[in-house]
Amino acid sequence: MVVSCSSGANQLDLLNKENTLNEPLVNNKFVIYQALVRHFGNTHTTNKYYGSIEENGVGKFNDFTATALQELYDLGITHMWYTGVIEHATMTDYSAYGIKPDDPDVVKGRAGSPYAIKDYYDVCPDFAVDVSRRMQEFEQLIERTHQHKMKVIIDFIPNHVARTYYSDSKPDNVKDFGVDDDKTKQFLPANDFYYIPDSDFQVPGGYIPGGGEFYNVLKNGSFPESPAKATGNNVFSSSPAKDDWFETVKLNYGVDFQRNETKHFDPVPPLWFKMRDILLFWAGKGVDGFRCDMVEMVPVEFWAWVNDEVKKSHPDILFIGEAYNKQEYANFYTTGKFDFLYDKVGLYDTLKMLMRNDDYAGVRGIQDVWRNEVKGYSARMLRFLENHDEQRIASKDFAGDPFVAIPAMVLSATMATGPVMIYSGQEVGEPGIGHEGFGGEDGRTSIFDYWGVPQHQKWMNKGKFDGGLLAENEVRLRAFYKALFNIVKTEQSIQAGGFYDLMATQQVQPNFPNRIYAYLRYTHNERLLVIANFEKAVQNFTLILPDDVIQAFHMEGKQLVFKDLLGQEAITVNKFSNQIDLKLEANQAQILKF
């Protein structure tokens, strides 16, 4: 919308009201670094298909040294998301430490999925130098992270647990899930699990755990579970398929899925209290936030209740929800009281099409995201281009070139006041090559297998964390991320300023490039012009600023210097009227301060 303005500060206010994301001007500008602990510090380069922990190696909590954390802080990181912390089912045998072994027939990958939780009150023994002191080593990591001025996020997986769930570390007053269940009933509000009475669980046919090798426990194609429990992805059958989450069992929050999803929340189901106590347990150790897995598979009423319960004693704790249903965003914010939600099906999917250079992909899709899909909530959407679920940008399955991400990353980081995230290895162009085992050859870095991440290992440089083994172009890529994230941390207009979309004015130009996107971020004292070029070739074009912007910022007739914060040469315009001539290289972006 173009509006007429009269003067000064009121004009800025009117611009903000008429052409922004309608979000509160607050600083939610976190920069989150997701690091799968299993991979981060692993120096092994064997990378054998379905390799064991001894063959392929594993990262440790202690690999996040003071040097590593300082380098990440200098990169611009404010929050560390340590992925895979809580103990999960695995084929690695820790029975010598009193940990009950898991049946490989219900474990995916030699390492096991970090989302098949085996003990909510313990950490993964893989990550400890001294397994008997594994919790202390994690507590020391929390302390080190805080000392380096960053906060700690871990996963909370509320929808399902491993089929082999058994807590050997729970507090004395805590009962394991299902201990008091009436297993003769398919559903009872007081049960922790859903059951398939008079039926035994069947391991999916054709599943060959560990690539067919025998490892510690005989794999016999069966797992003793009678009666069978419902599977984590809402499969109410004793015979889930190989593509189901068959290694997990669904938790019961009081919803009867077999009877029209009727809700039984009064009295509060026992599971709610158990989950609250788990969250309080980790918050009590200094964890600052939770990335909550598959939040839409858990009733929003639980989230409302548990948010209030946890924030009574930890008011600053963060709840970040993995959500994919745009129609439910408002519900999870207003009712569920989430602090942030994933922006995957909106901005991520739109930017992926642009990065892949899909024929039909133009920048109008970006406008659709902020105008319609997340209107009113953009400051509370977590933006990213990679995470453990998504393909690596540099993979042949995605874009094949990590530099293609530059315009998309600039836009993700600066378009709104909400948080932005990168995945460990993204900043040095990790391509996700290799058939790791259960993870397969899919352009992702496997979460199921022991594996070394080659590009990340170059930056890690055998524990020096100085990038000493990176090639010149990889050093340049990481320097871009460092520059961008530090701009995010220091520029007030990005942290808490207004937003003004400039595309309505450009799109009436007959020759304006289809894949250029431009907008303003501003406060009363500062203004930035952000331009992203998603074209695969250099673009020469004229950017026109609308009259209300020129009047509000008192630009007409002035000599203006546009300084590129990303390092390109400044542009000087004498006696500015309403336009600026620009040249932008392929897959590049500029953040022009004026």
- For residues 298 and 336, the answer to whether their CB atoms sit within 8 Å is no
Are 168 and 131 in contact by the 8 Å Cβ rule? The answer is no
Distances (CA, A) of 369 to 96, 206, 261, 415, 580: 53, 42, 31, 11, 27
Distance of alpha carbon 448 from the chain centroid: 17
**What DSSP state is assigned to residue 34?**
E
Residues in the chain: 594
Residue 21: predicted pLDDT: 38
Q: What is the pLDDT of residue 27?
A: 64
Q: How far apart are the first and last CA of the chain?
A: 23
Q: What is the pTM of this model?
A: 0.95
Secondary structure element (H or E) that encloses residue 529, with its range:
strand 527-533
User: Minimal CA–CA distance to 83: which of 425, 558, 362?
Assistant: 425
User: What local confidence, expressed as pLDDT, does residue 26 receive?
Assistant: 52
Q: Provide the residue-wise pLDDT of the chain in tens; the chain has 594 residues.
A: 232 232 333 334 434 443 443 444 456 899 999 999 999 999 999 999 999 999 999 999 999 999 999 999 999 999 999 999 999 999 999 999 999 999 999 999 999 999 999 999 999 999 999 999 999 999 999 999 999 999 999 999 999 999 999 999 999 999 999 999 999 999 999 999 999 999 999 999 989 898 876 444 456 789 999 999 999 999 999 999 999 999 999 999 999 999 999 999 999 999 999 999 999 999 999 999 999 999 999 999 999 999 999 999 999 999 999 999 999 999 999 999 999 999 999 999 999 999 998 876 789 899 989 888 777 888 999 999 999 999 999 999 999 999 999 999 999 999 999 999 999 999 999 999 999 999 999 999 999 999 999 999 999 999 999 999 999 999 999 999 999 999 999 999 999 999 999 999 998 898 899 999 999 999 988 999 999 999 999 999 999 999 999 999 999 999 999 999 999 889 999 999 999 999 999 999 999 999
CA distance 114 to 262: 31
Rg of the chain, C-alpha, whole Å = 25
- 225's tokens: 């579970």
**89 neighbors 112 (Cβ within 8 angstroms):** yes
Q: How far apart are CA 146 and CA 320, in angstroms?
A: 19
| Most distant CA pair in the chain, distance | 83
